[in-house]
Amino acid sequence: MNIIDIHFTGGILFMGILFLLLVAVVFTSVLVLKNKTDKGKAEKWLKISQEIALFALVFGILGQLVGLVGAFQAIEEVGEVSQALLAGGLKVSSYTTLYGFFIFLLAKLFKIGFQFSQE
């Protein structure tokens, strides 16, 4: 399964918004590097990047919770389901959380690298 399949399987709404947040983190990180001679601007863009990354993490968790509620509602309506079907649903609901964590960790690594290079 490639990243595009995961993107569509995880739900186009949440995964699409998370992708836009990833683009925003990358864009603000580029602005940090562009303004590294002006410490005030660089710090401002770095803070914005970190806030977007934190939002992506929380939004990914929200996506998983919405997916789980939908899955549990479907299970309640159907009755008994197989363990394989339940495991597949749990796996799919985790995609948004994993994507959010990836964005968050990418931004944190950038912040660590940027601050290390400033010293």
Helix axes 83-118, 12-34, angle to 10 degrees: 10
Give average pLDDT by consecutive 10-residue segment, the chain, 119 residues: 78 92 97 92 96 97 92 85 83 91 96 87
| DSSP code, position 35 | T
Residue-wise pLDDT tens digits, 1-29: 777 787 778 888 999 999 999 999 999 99
Residue type, position 27, single letter? F
| Average pLDDT over all residues of the chain | 91
Q: What is the pTM of this model?
A: 0.90
Q: How much is the pLDDT for 119?
A: 66
